[in-house]
Amino acid sequence: MSERPEIDDTPEPDSPEIEAARHLLSAEAVRERSAALFAHIEAGKSEHFRFDAAALPAIADRVAAVTRERYPDLAVPLHARFRHFESPGLDRFASLAAAREWATPQEAARAMGDLAIVSVLLDAGAGPTWRYREAATGEVAGRSEGLALASFAMFASGAFSAVPADPLRADAAALEIVGEEEFADGFQISADNPLEGAEGRRALLASLAAATRAAPDLFATEDDPRPGGLIDALAAEAVDGELPATMILAMVLEGLAPIWPSRLELGGIALGDAWRHPALGDGTPGSDIVPFHKLSSWLSYSLVEPLVIRGIDVVDLDALPGLAEYRNGGLFVDGRALSLVAPPAAPLPVDHPLIVEWRAATVTLLDRLAPMVRERLDAPPEALPLAAILEGGTWATGRLLAAEARPDRTPPIAIISDGTVF
């Protein structure tokens, strides 16, 4: 009798395309590819920008001054969505939590995760004219703060919950049926108060519901899948109570990848907020692609506080990249570190090489600026991580410079937004 052939059960190696895609879905790749593209600008080879390193010290001075004015004791919190639920003398989520009295830290953290994920996904640029008026306080806000107040009010009203007895949550059953009229009412959208990318935002909620159902290992809870189930999944990855910050981004990118509109794919893997640039590429798969993962990175920062409530210590925060968006980017343009070769005559799509370069420069220059700001504030990295510098910080100074340069406070470069990138 002949011997049975041995079966080789060694797994097939991933294709080069899949390996490249997995790398592009990482914090490391955001910095690596951004630096490569910024080197193109710094070398004077860009068709769109010139870089002046001599402008950085004045920008650092301004950021340090704004940070000290906003946080005199330099106890700067992280740049997270929860900052937008706060205003002088009013912490909206804390008031909500005090009234709700969740039975366990796990329940509270899960609800915080629900709110953070939904609100961040709805936070792409609102446009210059849209405003939201908060009924309880009469406060009127636009842009990111207004979007925060609107999404918070919908969460507090139970609009994202399918469980009447537990309105302060978000679950797939409710998210998948948020209607056009309900969304318009919640965000006070009208002909006189248009919100850019409104339909794209509402579609994201339905896509979020589908993503939570498709990945029960990440989002499953005791009943219907919930975005905040991700907090439980992340807590399970902690070792001795510690979780690397990059693990948050990795899991966010894994769990939420299906929700983004169809853009670039590599090896059948959707790459999300990632874009090609003709100055890059060495012939290997994906080498001309620059990932930014802006909303995913900001969401990762915003999930730190729920994890802390859950009892998890998030470590190595500075491994997460800076946020490639128009306020941080505007800081360097209005601050004259980046100058346009030829200002565009019309708003540009997010995949335009100029926008890709601008965002790459933003990521790299935030890293260069951070130690300069710390030096001016005499603060070590552990006391002032990059996420705190963003909050203190670069985002507020970018907005301030925009207001000084343009009456309508618009960014220095106009971008066509579909509500799913910025």
Tens digit of each residue's pLDDT (9 = 90 or more) over 11-25 = 456 899 999 999 999
For residues 412 and 405, the answer to whether their CB atoms sit within 8 Å is: yes
Q: Which helix (H) or strand (E) covers residue 242, if one does?
A: strand 242-244
Residue among 296, 420, 402 nearest 350 (CA): 420
φ/ψ of residue 128, rounded to 5: -75, -15
Q: Is 332 inside a domain boundary?
A: yes
Q: Is 222 inside a domain boundary?
A: yes
- Would the CA dihedral through 92, 97, 98, 99 be positive or negative? positive
Q: Is 5 inside a domain boundary?
A: no
Q: Is 9 inside a domain boundary?
A: no
- pLDDT band at residue 196 under the 50/70/90 scheme: confident
For residues 321 and 390, the answer to whether their CB atoms sit within 8 Å is: no
**C-alpha of 212 from chain center:** 19
φ/ψ of residue 235, rounded to 5: -60, -35
Q: Is 77 inside a domain boundary?
A: yes
Side chain identity at residue 143, one-letter code: R
For residues 198 and 124, the answer to whether their CB atoms sit within 8 Å is: no
> Which DSSP letter does residue 3 get?
P
pLDDT of residue 6: 56
- pLDDT band at residue 3 under the 50/70/90 scheme: low
> Which DSSP letter does residue 261 get?
P
pLDDT over 50 at 2, yes or no? no
Percent over 90 (pLDDT), the chain = 80
Range of the domain at 311: 16-416
Digit-coded pLDDT (tens) for 211-220: 999 998 899 7
Residues 269-306: b if buried by 16+ CB within 10 A, e if exposed = bbbbbbbebebbeeeebbebbbbbbbbbbbbbbbbbbb
Tell me whether the omega of the peptide bond preceding residue 44 falls within 30 degrees of 0, making it cis: no
Q: Is 134 inside a domain boundary?
A: yes
pLDDT over 80 at 296, yes or no? yes
Q: Count the domains in the chain.
A: 1
Residues 320, 322: Cα–Cα separation, whole Å? 7
Burial class (CB within 10 angstroms; exposed 0-12, middle 13-18, buried 19+) of 166: middle
Residues 317, 79: Cα–Cα separation, whole Å? 12
- pLDDT band at residue 351 under the 50/70/90 scheme: very high
φ/ψ of residue 405, rounded to 5: -90, -30
Both structure tokens of 252: 């966010």
pTM: 0.91
Residue among 307, 306, 361, 313 nearest 333 (CA): 361
pLDDT of residue 227: 96
pLDDT of residue 262: 67
Q: Is 118 inside a domain boundary?
A: yes
For residues 286 and 24, the answer to whether their CB atoms sit within 8 Å is: yes
Answer left, alpha or beta for residue 89, where phi above 0 means left and psi between -120 and 50 means alpha: left
DSSP of 270-319: E-SSEEE-TT---SSTTTTEEE--HHHHHHHHHTHHHHHHTT-EEE-GGG
For 78, the 3-state DSSP assignment is coil
Digit-coded pLDDT (tens) for 237-249: 999 999 999 999 9
* Other Cβ atoms within 10 Å of 23 Cβ, number: 15
Q: Is 421 inside a domain boundary?
A: no
> In sequence order, what are the residues at sequence separation of 6 or more whose Cβ sits closer than 8 angstroms to the Cβ of residue 55?
335, 336, 337
pLDDT of residue 9: 46
Q: Which helix (H) or strand (E) covers residue 339, if one does?
A: strand 338-340
Both structure tokens of 34: 């951004």
pLDDT over 80 at 88, yes or no? no
